[in-house]
Structure 1
């Protein structure tokens, strides 16, 4: 499919000619794993080798990482074994040898290139589509973006239960502690339930609620976006607890 603009991430990985096939397989596996590790379900991803009649004239092997969009399978990324085509073309045009001398073997060779080329905007669209979900809580519909923490705009939101001056200083201390490690949002407007929903919609994995009990027990409540579980944690242990959850 076509978009008005296309942002691409690309790497040229130079390898000895006889190692090119194994490095090609390595990068196919690594690039596929990258999407899985960032939250795309296995049943919405596939690695599709190109048929011989699809291969570019310079490629001995190419595979596409494809995502199951709402309209069908589409390419996210291509990984190609480009052989020595790029360097030989540069050498021919420049008149300069582009060879590598391997001191261990005492041989010269033109490196082969393994090229992973990924669509950055396509990948982000795939992450958003895979993360978007709806469910129901107490009879009310909820929209939630189940983004991997590494992709979420905020990893933590600090939410004082009230805007009263008695809670604001402590909430500020909690925010100062966690924002040294993670991107954080601070929201004290409207009812706490509405604020939870806002954080769910933008994909924030954890909300930290500072309530009036926090003034006495020096503890806060961590709410999990996906499970909705809420646990009480001492403020002194909050950063360690979030680190265990967020990695």
Structure 2
């Protein structure tokens, strides 16, 4: 992991915490994603409206059915892009403090993005839940970022064609997320897992990585 060199007020050279630098970069990327999603959303909405107008006009023209078939394909693709943009907005939008939820709900909120990344890497993700999930009070944004960091770290170490198992278990008043490859374990810990560990401490949870398995634990009732 690279280190950032800075000079303090006394002129001495200090080394910045690389995990703090990484966290700052993630915060910047979140703001950029939010701004970009808003920039895309407006013209996308305009395209959807104009496409609907075009489809209605084509329906009144003799022989317009063939062209209408292509506009329907365009409509489906625009709808798919729109859902991806909405996902980006949900992930990057700041939260207002802690709220009551479950670890299962948090994982499911990011699972679509996880599946997209897995397909891009020619891998598979299998998601399962076991037991009754305790409700927790937690900031949704940092909790979702923890989950994404752990999964993306695991996917980077996963060979093409392999399967990543994502499991949420509820037991003894706490919820546990485990992320494990189907075959040989990947790297024990990457930059994202280190950042996830810091974020987990800030929300009252724990993150650790061992033998290729990444684990996130949230006790019930934590703020």
Structure-1-length-normalised TM-score? 0.23
Structure-2-length-normalised TM-score? 0.24
Richer in helix (by share): 2
Richer in strand (by share): 1
